[in-house]
Amino acid sequence: MKRKNSLKWQMLRMLALGWFVPLTAIVVAFLVVVSGRIDRQSQRLITTSMEKAADISILRLLDCIDSSKDASYLSYIGDYWAEYQESGDSGKLYNQVTTFLSAHYKYDPSFDITVLMFTDEPGTLYYTGNTTGRGSVSRFRFFKDEVQEKALSISEELDTRTEFFAMNGHVYMIRNLIGRGFKRYAVLVMEINPQEVFESLKSVWEYRGMEISFKDDKLYSEGNYSASSDVVTCTRKSVDGEFTFSVSYDGTAVGLEKRPINITFMILIVFLVPLILLLFYFFNRRINRPIITLTEASKKIAEGEYGEVVAQPKGQSGEIADLTKNFNKMSIKLGEQFNKIFVEEIALRDANIHALQSQINPHFLNNTLEIINWEARMNGQEKVSSMIEALSVMMSATMDRNRQSLIALSEELEYVNAYIYIIKCRYQDRFIYEEHIDKALLQVKVPRLIIQPVIENAVEYSYSEDGVRRVRMEIEGTCEGEKVDMKIRIINPGVPSDDDVAKIKELLTDDMDIKPLEERSTRIGIRNVHRRLKMLYGSESRLSIETDGNGNTISTIFVKN
């Protein structure tokens, strides 16, 4: 009894009950948490890789659909068929159609074979095979013997949709070619190369097999796929239906991932107790305190105090000392680099602004010179002189000899009036222009040549029932010292087409890269106006082009700083 009540046993019981048991419980609980996290991370990894693989597969399927549209939207096959109906030359028709199919689909690895059938002559097949070796004659024979009849049956109810179906492991995509009167005159059937289109699904972690379905109908399966094993499924919608991608994976690999961790924790439980105090002391003095110091310094750097340095720990060497030294070097270097980048950023912004301002509309200058030449021959000298003066004003504005990026609004309006005078000479009574300007804003500084390109765009796309081009400009806003909040609206009749709306959206993006565009100069002009406003004033200044619902297009220049 004395032995059990001795100080030695009391210490052992205290260590066991107060230290070892709680520590063991903590380690076990931590082991459970880590194991659960590994399970979740593994499942998340599988799900994420599956979603990305499904996205890639659906993109490739959409590419296949887009490729098949060439036969529908390009008029060549329809023209060949119409020519054949008039001439009756079947050999010429066969050569023309097969040449078209070869040119568009022979070198596309997504298709094994491509077959076209005219509904009036379904017995004659026009086809091409892929050059990779998968487009063999045997595939064409299988199609002719087993697939052709089903494809024709499907096409009767297909309309303009694209359909997918499978036959004995072969995956096919089918669409109708529609002619005048919304009547189908041909059927295009393309055998998909699943190894190319669905290759991304093999990147799923611990992949074993796959299965793909379209509208709940099985299209393709590969590998050791089993619905009863561990399976991850992802559904994606295409233009004409829904694809379901399923991949089976090796679930036992998750357990193998956890095995080293389990063994490690068991070893820690055995060896951690005699080392924990010593490690705590060592960690706190040699690692924790220096890291806290470095963390505080890094927070200051994150707040913008570049160049912050940390005192070197006394009597300490090794990695922490090197880390402190390298941290100080990095901080000093970061301060120097930040100052350098700031200067380069300002220089780059100014260079971009001058590059955007230097683009001139050569077509407009050519048209103007032609008008001057015509007026010189047909009318007197006064009008020619006035036009030359207007052109001189505009050329001075575009050349910007004084290198002034900002000018008074009154000077900008002089350039606008010069352009308007030339346009009035061009269109005579078929052009009407109105101005409504707050006179208090005439001395406000604005970027050079931000109004004239927008008015030029409004003139070019102004359409009215009476044939008269109308443009109205309204300028309003406030100016307090250097703070400016101004709106410049240019209103013209006419509504842009869907293509023009898409082009306007592309032109008015916030991408600041200067890239050459094969566009009309008016479009380049409005793009430059938008980007210059962004670079000079920030995100609140911009150019917008919208319709008001009453048959008018409103272009608004927002200047705010």
The beta strands (E) that lie in 62-183 are given as: 111-118, 121-129, 162-167, 170-178
pLDDT of residue 293: 76
Rounded to whole angstroms, the Cα distance separating 232 from 229 reads 10
- DSSP letter for 288, please: I
Half-sphere exposure of 362 (CA within 13 A, CB side): 1
How far apart, in whole angstroms, are the C-alpha atoms of residue 228 and residue 245? 16
What domains are there in the chain, each with its CATH number? Answer: 16-250 (3.30.450.20), 255-351 (no CATH), 358-560 (3.30.565.10)
Distances from the Cα of 2 to the Cαs of 12, 15, 16, 478, in angstroms?
Answer: 15, 19, 19, 95
Q: E strands along 425-508, which residues?
A: 431-437, 445-447, 469-480, 483-493
pLDDT at 363: 52
* Phi, then psi, of 154 in degrees rounded to 5: -65, -40
Comparing CA positions, the residue from 194, 222, 224, 221 lying closest to residue 208 is 224
pLDDT at 134: 66
Determine the pLDDT at residue 517. 45
Phi and psi at 398, nearest 5°, equal -70, -35
Those residues with Cβ within 8 angstroms of residue 257's Cβ, 6 or more apart along the chain or in another chain: 38, 42
Smallest Cα–Cα separation from 425: which of 455, 386, 459? Answer: 386
pTM comes to 0.44
Write down the pLDDT at residue 94.
93
Give the pLDDT of residue 284.
55
CB distance 467 to 451 below 8 Å = no
| β-bridge partners, 247 | 210, 232
Give the position of tokens 């959206």.
505
Which distant-in-sequence residues (6+ apart) come within 8 Å of 457 by Cβ? 522, 523, 525, 526, 555
- Please tell me the distance from the alpha carbon of residue 35 to that of residue 30, in angstroms, as a whole number: 8
Q: How far apart are CA 553 and CA 546, in angstroms?
A: 6
Read off the tokens for 126.
Answer: 């026009």
Helix axes 521-537, 319-357, angle to 10 degrees: 140
Find tokens 């008039």 and name the residue.
86
* Residue 397: DSSP 8-state: H
- Amino acid letter at 423? I
Helix (H, G, I), strand (E, B) or coil at 352: helix
* Amino acid 7: pLDDT: 40
270, 241, 249: which is closest to 164 by C-alpha? 241
Residue 307 CB neighbour total at 10 angstroms: 15
Provide the phi-psi class of 434: left if phi over 0, else alpha when psi is between -120 and 50, else beta: beta
- 473-503 in b/e form (b: 16+ CB < 10 A) is bbbebebeeeebebebbbbbbbebeeeeeee
Q: How far apart are CA 304 and CA 521, in angstroms?
A: 43
112, exposed or middle or buried, with CB in 10 Å at 0-12, 13-18, 19+? buried
**Whole-angstrom distance, CA of residue 71 vs CA of residue 187:** 10
Residue matched to tokens 């070019």: 460
The CA distances from residue 348 to 352, 360, 398, 549, 560, in Å, are 6, 21, 21, 41, 22
Check residue 125 and give its pLDDT. Answer: 94
Three-state DSSP state, 509:
coil
CB atoms within 10 A of CB 271: 10
For 120-264, strand residue ranges (E) read: 121-129, 162-167, 170-178, 184-192, 207-214, 217-223, 231-237, 242-249
Query: Which long-range contacts does 277-284 make (Cβ < 8 Å, 24+ apart)?
Result: none
The token pair at 537 is 């004033």
Ranges of the chain whose pLDDT falls below 70: 1-20, 23, 133-135, 254-259, 261-262, 265, 268-289, 304, 306, 313-318, 336-386, 388-403, 510-523
Assign 358 to helix, strand or coil. coil
User: Sign of torsion, CA 285 291 295 301?
Assistant: positive
> Which pairs count as long-range contacts for 295-301, CB under 8 Å and 24+ apart, including other chains?
297/327, 297/331, 298/327, 301/331, 301/334
Per-residue exposure over 60-79, b if at least 16 CB sit within 10 Å of its own CB, e if not: bbeebbebbebbbeeeebbe
User: Going by C-beta distance under 8 Å and a sequence separation of 6 or more, which residues neighbour residue 236?
Assistant: 54, 55, 57, 58, 242, 243, 245
